[in-house]
């Protein structure tokens, strides 16, 4: 698609102003890296941020989401405790005598295939329970996970249940009401209820 140069410039300005959160974050990172809050650092960081956003443009994130504080804290808290538990589990598997456990590849179909939530669920699940995302099917919202110890993770259904519960926490923290309703998770129910519902489906 060839646009008139002026319209293209206008579009670029609009894209740039739509990406102001990226500009702010990049500037803050720059200032933190220098470890010193001064006008020179802020201006240099801002210039660099604009340069990066213009030269390496990213597709805009579909932001129909809604931030909810309590579910977000629940997501973050569970993430931290899972990270600690999973780390010590993997450390124990590495150090204990005997052969390595039985690995498996599990296919999980998420409720919601939107990029943002798919990515967040994939990243968090790689960091957390004994699982590692090796492949995704983006259009269908399917994750393929390698599981280090399939017996200890409760078998295929146990892994699916854990991942869907993680996705439920992500959606509850960040997705719009509409998305929650579409996924069968109307607002007001606790995360525990959602996990139970998922168990019933599995």
d(CA 189, CA 163): 19
Q: Which of 88, 94, 11 is nearest to 54 (CA)?
A: 11
Measured from the CB atom, the residue of 20 and 88 that comes closer to other proteins is 88
Measured from the CB atom, the residue of 1 and 95 that comes closer to other proteins is 95
Phi, psi (5° rounding) for residue 142? -110, 135
DSSP-derived letter for residue 19 is: T
| Residue from 3, 9, 84, 181 in contact with other proteins (CB under 8 A) | 84
| Residue from 12, 102, 182, 196 in contact with other proteins (CB under 8 A) | 102
| Residue from 74, 126, 195, 197 in contact with other proteins (CB under 8 A) | 126
Query: C-beta of 1: minimal distance to other proteins in Å?
Result: 31
Query: C-beta of 127: minimal distance to other proteins in Å?
Result: 5
d(CA 87, CA 79): 12
**91 lines the binding site for other proteins (CB under 8 A):** yes
**141 lines the binding site for other proteins (CB under 8 A):** no
d(CA 157, CA 15): 43
**134 lines the binding site for other proteins (CB under 8 A):** yes
**Cβ atoms 164, 183 nearer than 8 A:** no
Q: What are the start-end ranges of the E strands in the chain? A: 104-109, 131-137, 142-147
146 DSSP β-pair partners: 105, 132
**81 lines the binding site for other proteins (CB under 8 A):** no
Q: Taking CA 22 as the corner, what is the angle to CA 64 and CA 18, rounded to the nearest 5 degrees? A: 55
Measured from the CB atom, the residue of 107 and 176 that comes closer to other proteins is 107
Q: Which of 101, 84, 108, 189 is nearest to 152 (CA)?
A: 101
Count of residues that interact with other proteins, criterion CB under 8 A: 41
DSSP-derived letter for residue 141 is: T
**130 lines the binding site for other proteins (CB under 8 A):** yes
Measured from the CB atom, the residue of 15 and 154 that comes closer to other proteins is 154
Contact positions with other proteins (CB under 8 A) in 145-184: 146, 148, 150, 156
Interacting residues with other proteins (CB under 8 A): 29, 32-33, 35-36, 83-84, 86-88, 90-95, 99-100, 102-107, 109, 122-123, 126-128, 130, 132-135, 142, 144, 146, 148, 150, 156
């Amino acid at each position: 698609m060839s646009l008139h140069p002026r319209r293209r410039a206008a579009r670029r300005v609009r894209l740039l102003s739509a990406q102001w959160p990226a500009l702010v974050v990049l500037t803050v990172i720059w200032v933190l890296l220098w470890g010193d809050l001064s006008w020179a650092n802020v201006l240099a960081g801002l210039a660099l941020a604009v340069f990066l956003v213009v030269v390496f443009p990213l597709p805009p994130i579909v932001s129909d989401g809604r931030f909810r504080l309590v579910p977000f804290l629940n997501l973050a808290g569970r993430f931290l405790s899972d990270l600690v538990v999973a780390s010590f589990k993997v450390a124990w598997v590495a150090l204990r005598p005997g052969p390595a456990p039985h690995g498996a590849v599990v296919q999980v179909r998420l409720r919601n295939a939107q990029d943002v939530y798919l990515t967040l669920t994939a990243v968090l699940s790689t960091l957390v329970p004994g699982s590692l995302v090796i492949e995704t099917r983006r259009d269908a919202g399917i994750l393929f996970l390698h599981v280090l110890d399939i017996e200890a993770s409760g078998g295929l259904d146990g892994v699916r249940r854990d991942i869907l519960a993680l996705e439920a926490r992500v959606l509850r923290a960040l997705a719009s009401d509409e998305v929650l309703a579409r996924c069968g998770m109307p607002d007001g129910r606790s995360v525990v209820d959602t996990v139970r519902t998922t168990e019933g489906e599995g």
